């Protein structure tokens, strides 16, 4: 059986017309003779939507019971038995009622598709899993119902139902989306113009990416290599050299000229594993690419121009940015540069060549020495002394040797010179040998004249062969040197990374490894500041900034503000890359430390905000009760319409006194809390007997007879502030009583666990789902209230804030058999000691 086809109408927000578009499509197909039924449509009491249902067959909904309520859901079994050609199923991301066959509606739709039924559905962009965090950041509303992006991407057709924010707000104002009583709140919150504009952009960009994926698949399926400039993609080729920053910034400006332009940086690494650019240079260019809003890619290849162009064609790029060649001009005459090759092979891709101060050999010079200096010196000595010695030996023979014998001998000498000293000594040796050959062994001897043409050719070939062998030796030596350096660097960095992963003090370990690797006396990380240098870390505690500022000390830049400095070591040019890699590791460690410090500061700010929130909650919630009692009692006593007996007056006066005492205690605690957050006051923890606190808390609640308490003798003494603890327990117990069904009782018990004391306040009320337990501590909310509906009570915010100020915490967990248990976790006196 052929799988059904899925069509999805995607919208940026509720009310843009997705359901209407789906029903219009249903009518269109019905008029065409297609068997269409409505599996499920949510009209949201909109008259126009209800009118569109007329003429369409509706499959009756299934009734699902849950917690004493009856919910309507799509009847999947009946719809499968009906087997229409097309089913209209609204709200793809909907979560089915517990007890349904599938958890999500998109899973129901998957069964319909597998049965060969075409489905038309709807979804809003805020329900896409990949965009959930972005939508939350924009609107401040967490979407609980999401659908995997893969489900939507797999649809055969995705059609955007678009509407400008202003038009959608007008629809809402006219009552075409929500009921009149909800319109003002919606327009002032979720449906602000800024929110709707951002959601619309998310929807357009997400759909544009899907369209781009479809174009990529089509081009791959049809073998299309030519560039389709549907979007301005700019590829910038970076080698890790000093010109990379100039190229990246220029490419970013080019990409920004067109709407939706993309910047892609590509670095081609050698497939033979030879050493390339330094790690810090690549890290810097990768970071700059991220800052410019682009993406950094690394590909492998020996043919650099072809690798760059293959990448550009693979991403359907329209332009390539590349720098002017750093090779000297005379070398480009011998062989074309990478830049010229890219231009020649680019085809229909535009190539921008950016000049820079390092072009054509200008600016920073790169050392090309490959052989050790000692070998080069020995090579020059052999190039000068060798021809003399060989000539002396040949001249001393009884018979004069012929040219066919002497030329190979001198050629052998030139090859040995090339093998020993490389290009320079080989050229000197070849020229010296050719002079000796010409003078002593080429007729007529005793002069530089050559009488026979073949002898001239032989000498010329001799020089060419010697130079060619020298060039091969020199190049092989350079490549071998680079390979050895790359292997040494890779081994050292792999060992360093492995060691750092298991270390708690990574910077100290890195400095110790640097001392071992470079044979230094000491190593240090120095901070460069306007007022001078500062030693951040060092293997020798006696090092001062003045010691590390001395000229000639090997140093490498770790980041924008720090250097890695070695003392008592000479780092050769061949190991500068390794030193730079160590410095890059040091910079990463420092950055991680900075991020950890920032996270700690953010956590401290969060705790401060939590305490301030608790303070506001207490002011708005707990101050109101005693003030209302005092005002009511005084108003009654001053009333001239009622005459109270002495007993009634005494009762009212006692109520005033009791409320004033509660108000005084509360204000004192809140002022202490405020001073604590300002740093002017610390909590005063001491040994507190819960047997003195819990009874007072129970007596102070509204219905003390509904509270039962039992204290474990082993969990009776805690180390805390008694006044703050009284507020915490009072709020938690009052909250439990509020949700405890009558005539049941709230239980307060204690237990000891791992040096901590847990005070449990247990109720058997409706409980709270696990996913909502953190939100019940948000202030100014109650469980079940609209629109938040995520809080259990205002007092819980006070309880958590005060508990954390004392070094404790308040958490929520299930009550076995149903209900909620609030756990107040405090240090015991033994743990504090």
pLDDT digits (tens, 9 = 90+) for 419-437: 787 777 877 887 788 778 7
CB 135 within 8 A of CB 147: no
Q: What are phi and psi of 5, to 5 degrees?
A: -105, 140
Query: Residue 561: which of 584, 528, 535, 534 has the closest Cα?
Result: 528
Q: What angle do CA 489, 492, 496 make, to 5 degrees?
A: 135
CB 88 within 8 A of CB 35: no
**Does the active-site annotation cover 621?**
yes
User: Judging by DSSP bridges, how do beta strands 555-557 and 319-323 pair with one another?
Assistant: unpaired
pLDDT of residue 611: 58
Is the confidence at residue 765, as pLDDT, over 80? yes
Q: What is the DSSP letter of 716?
A: -
Please tell me which residue in 44, 360, 527, 621 is annotated as part of the active site.
Answer: 621
Least confident piece of the model among 99-108, 159-168, 439-448 = 439-448
681 — pLDDT class (breaks 50, 70, 90): very low
Q: Which H or E run includes 309?
A: helix 304-314
pLDDT of residue 69: 72
Gap between the Cα atoms of 761 and 707, Å rounded = 10
Is the confidence at residue 395, as pLDDT, over 70? yes
- Say whether pTM exceeds 0.75: no
pLDDT of residue 792: 35
Gap between the Cα atoms of 406 and 440, Å rounded = 10
DSSP-assigned letters across all residues of 391-433: HHHHHTSSSPPPHHHHHHHHHHHHHHHHHHH-HHHHHHHHHHH
Maximum alpha-carbon separation in the chain: 154
Gap between the Cα atoms of 145 and 62, Å rounded = 21
Is the confidence at residue 464, as pLDDT, over 90? no
In sequence order, the 6+-apart residues with CB closer than 8 A to the CB of 644 are 636, 637, 652
Average pLDDT for 489-508: 67
pLDDT of residue 680: 53
pLDDT of residue 281: 73
Is the confidence at residue 117, as pLDDT, over 90? yes
pLDDT of residue 788: 37
pLDDT of residue 38: 93
Locate 274 and state its tokens: 């030879």
Q: Which H or E run includes 173?
A: helix 165-173
What sign does the CA torsion over 429, 431, 432, 433 have?
positive
Q: What is the mean pLDDT of the chain?
A: 79
Is the confidence at residue 525, as pLDDT, over 60? yes
Gap between the Cα atoms of 414 and 391, Å rounded = 13
Gap between the Cα atoms of 133 and 182, Å rounded = 26
pLDDT of residue 285: 83
Residue with tokens 């790359």: 486
Using DSSP's 3-state secondary structure scheme, residue 798 falls into helix
Query: Residue 801: which of 663, 673, 683 has the closest Cα?
Result: 673
In sequence order, the 6+-apart residues with CB closer than 8 A to the CB of 741 are 764, 765
Residue 335: count other Cβ atoms within 10 Å of its Cβ: 9
Question: Residue 501, Cα to own-chain centre: how many angstroms?
Answer: 20
């Amino acid at each position: 059986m052929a799988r059904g086809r899925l069509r999805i109408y995607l919208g940026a927000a509720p009310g843009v017309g997705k359901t209407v578009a789906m029903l219009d499509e249903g009518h269109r197909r019905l008029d065409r003779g297609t068997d269409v039924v409505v599996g499920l449509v949510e009209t949201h009491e909109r008259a126009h939507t209800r009118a569109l249902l007329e003429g369409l067959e509706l499959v009756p909904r299934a009734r699902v019971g849950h917690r004493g309520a009856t919910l309507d859901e799509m009847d999947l079994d009946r719809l499968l038995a009906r087997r229409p050609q097309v089913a209209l199923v609204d709200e793809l991301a909907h979560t089915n009622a517990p007890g349904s066959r599938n958890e999500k509606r998109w899973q129901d739709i998957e069964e319909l598709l597998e049965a060969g039924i075409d489905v038309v559905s709807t979804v809003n962009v805020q329900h896409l899993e990949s965009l959930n965090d972005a939508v939350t950041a924009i609107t401040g509303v967490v979407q609980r119902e999401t659908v995997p992006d893969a489900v939507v991407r797999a649809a055969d057709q995705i059609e955007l139902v678009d509407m400008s924010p202003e038009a959608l707000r007008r629809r809402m104002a006219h009552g075409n989306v929500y009921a009149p009583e909800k319109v003002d709140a919606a327009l002032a919150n979720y449906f602000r113009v800024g929110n709707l504009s951002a959601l619309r952009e998310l929807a357009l960009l997400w759909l544009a990416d899907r369209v781009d994926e479809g174009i990529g698949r089509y081009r791959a399926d049809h073998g299309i290599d030519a560039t389709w400039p549907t979007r301005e993609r700019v590829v910038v080729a970076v080698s890790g050299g000093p010109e990379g920053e100039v190229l990246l910034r220029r490419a970013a400006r080019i990409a920004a000229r067109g709407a939706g332009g993309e910047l892609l940086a590509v670095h081609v690494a050698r497939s033979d594993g030879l050493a390339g650019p330094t790690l810090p240079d690549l890290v810097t260019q990768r970071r700059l690419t991220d800052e410019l809003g682009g993406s950094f890619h690394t590909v492998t290849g020996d043919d650099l121009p072809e690798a760059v162009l293959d990448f550009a064609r693979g991403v359907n790029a329209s332009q390539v940015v590349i720098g002017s060649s750093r090779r000297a001009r005379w070398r480009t005459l011998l062989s074309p540069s990478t830049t010229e090759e890219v231009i020649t092979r680019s085809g229909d891709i535009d190539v921008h060549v950016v000049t820079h101060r390092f072009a054509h050999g200008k600016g920073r010079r790169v050392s090309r020495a490959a052989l050790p200096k000692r070998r080069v010196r020995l090579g020059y000595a052999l190039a000068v002394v060798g021809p003399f010695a060989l000539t002396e030996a040949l001249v001393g023979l009884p018979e004069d040797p012929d040219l066919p014998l002497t030329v190979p001998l001198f050629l052998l000498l030139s090859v040995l010179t090339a093998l020993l000293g490389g290009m320079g000594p080989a050229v000197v040796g070849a020229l010296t040998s050719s002079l000796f050959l010409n003078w002593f062994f080429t007729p007529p001897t005793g002069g530089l004249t050559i009488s026979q043409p073949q002898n001239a050719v032989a000498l010329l070939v001799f020089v060419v062969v010697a130079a060619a062998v020298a060039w091969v030796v020199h190049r092989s030596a350079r490549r071998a040197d680079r390979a050895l350096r790359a292997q040494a660097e890779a081994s050292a960095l792999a060992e360093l990374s492995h060691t750092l992963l298991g270390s708690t003090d990574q910077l100290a370990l890195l400095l110790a490894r640097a001392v071992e690797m470079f044979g230094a006396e000491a190593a240090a990380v120095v901070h460069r500041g306007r007022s001078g240098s500062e030693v951040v870390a060092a293997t020798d505690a006696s090092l001062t900034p003045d010691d590390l500022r001395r000229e000639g000390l090997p140093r490498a830049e770790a980041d924008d503000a720090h250097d890695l400095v070695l003392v008592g070591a000479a780092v050769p040019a061949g190991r500068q890359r390794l030193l730079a890699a160590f410095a890059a590791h040091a910079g990463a460690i420092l950055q991680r430390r900075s991020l950890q410090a920032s996270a700690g500061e953010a956590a401290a700010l969060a705790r401060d905000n939590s305490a301030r929130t608790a303070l506001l909650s207490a002011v708005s919630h707990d101050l109101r009760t005693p003030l209302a009692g005092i005002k009511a009692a005084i108003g009654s006593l001053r009333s001239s319409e009622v005459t109270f007996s002495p007993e009634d007056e005494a009762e009212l006066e006692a109520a005033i006194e009791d409320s004033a005492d509660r108000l005084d205690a509360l204000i004192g605690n809140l002022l202490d809390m405020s001073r604590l957050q300002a740093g002017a006051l610390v909590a005063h923890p001491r040994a507190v007997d819960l047997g003195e606190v819990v009874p007072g808390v129970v007596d102070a609640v509204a219905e003390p007879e509904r509270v039962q308490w039992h204290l474990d003798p082993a969990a009776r003494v805690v180390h805390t502030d008694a006044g703050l603890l009284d507020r915490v327990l009072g709020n938690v117990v009052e909250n439990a009583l509020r949700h405890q069904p009558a005539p049941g009782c709230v239980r307060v018990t204690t237990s000891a666990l791992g040096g901590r004391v847990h005070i449990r306040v247990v109720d058997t009320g409706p409980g709270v789902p696990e996913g909502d337990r953190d939100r019940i501590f948000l202030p100014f909310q109650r469980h079940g209230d609209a629109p938040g509906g995520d809080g259990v009570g205002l007092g819980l915010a006070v309880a958590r804030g005060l508990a954390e100020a004392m070094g404790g915490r308040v958490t929520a967990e299930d009550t076995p058999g149903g209900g909620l248990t609030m756990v107040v976790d405090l240090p015991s006196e033994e743990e504090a000691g």
